Structure 1
Amino acid sequence: MKSKRENHATLNAMMSNEEDDVQGFLGTGKSYAKYNRERMSSFFENKSTAKERVNVTNAKIKEGKKKPKNHIGNLKNYSIDKEELLHHMRSLPSGSTVVWSSLAKRFNLSVNGKIPLNGGHVIKALVKENGIDPGSFNTAQQSTVFHGYLQRIRRAKKRLGYGLTAPASRPVCQLHTAIKKKINAKEINIGDNIAPKTYKTNKINKEGNLVEVNTTVYGRKISLEKIRQDMLNEQVTSNC
């Protein structure tokens, strides 16, 4: 007899089956944004519940009833252009919008030769250690003030029982990657490019600078000949 965790792993694998979820998503005609909204509302707690849970956890930590997690480790183990970072942060006026993860890339944060995935957290801890209040800057995420800096609130998965979370469909980024691979492999036909149009847009590069880039977008059209050929192939296959 399978345990709860084994059944949970099986359900997760079924929910994220590459063929089923890709075909299901394409068949609905939903946008990636709508898919993500429905996924978050179906499998994750709402924002108010998440904020309440985080506040309760933070209160327990302040009272000494719970030990805080440390996802950073020893700051001395990190390599970074420290003086340039501190000069940049001190030059920013209070209330400025800061993307912490971009600062990690801009000032070459690394540990063991790699950029840490939680680079934003490391930057926050580093500037705080050097007398700069991270809470004096704004971020785009919903946050709460804790430990003197803005703490991002993450929505946890809904629970089926103690230690067991509800299986969820794949994140939109993974679904997008799977569909893109199928398009590149010609497994999904999205038609031919038509009516190109070029726009000038702004983006932030790896160094954290705002640059202007040209973006070309296209319409898509599947030729009538292709549609007829596909229908003929289906009829031939069904008659065999």
Structure 2
Amino acid sequence: MKEKDTITPLARGIPNGVLTQVPTEARREAAERLRRTQEMEFTPSTTIQDVLFKGRARVKEKKLNDFLTRELDGRGVVATSRSVLLKEFSKDPNKYIRDKGALKEIQISDAYARMERAVREEMDLEEVVSKLSDKGVSNLLGWSEAAASVKKTVHEITKQSLDAALLSGEESNDDYYADIPGGTLRVCVQCELASCGGNSWWRGDGNGSEGGETETVMDVQRSWQHPRKG
């Protein structure tokens, strides 16, 4: 049986349970995103993507019909568009909702404006991640070592976000663990090289002292830490 390209002007045919469930799910998602952001700890290995997106779900990857159902009470829902993502819809809305009256009603809504803004922001951030990756910058350590010419290619607001994450990581009270050949290195991040001598230890692969642990004093300074003045 062939599907009809039928537009649902209102929420007819959608169970009440689904509609009442939508706000609850949206609130849960928002609360979860907030929790992840608040609990996020930055280290030199934190990726640029994680810093910029802060663990949030991508709006552009959500399905068009889900958005219309949740945010607009089902207005404009089309059976043939159930697999269409918002990133595709935002590029050419007329392709997926051909009823001009219904589309206009959708486009003047606050929900559509928020969605369009979020999708555009996500696309811009992904472009930043891609450009920095092409320059060899994929995490905060790479950002700290990036040349000024590379950083100038990033929008000022984005640059501030990356710098703030870098500073937050520097002020962390936790040690930083890094995998190195033959073991795992723990670097002290509470103190600077001048005050602690860069003492670190590594857990070896069994070739060191008894139990495979070797105490080693290493001249390790966090390359992402700004040097002292004076």
The TM tier, using the shorter chain, reads under 0.3
Higher helix share: 2
Instruction: Give the TM-score of the pair, scaled to structure 1.
Output: 0.23
Instruction: Give the TM-score of the pair, scaled to structure 2.
Output: 0.24
Structure with more relative contact order (C-alpha pairs < 8 Å, separation 6 or more): 1
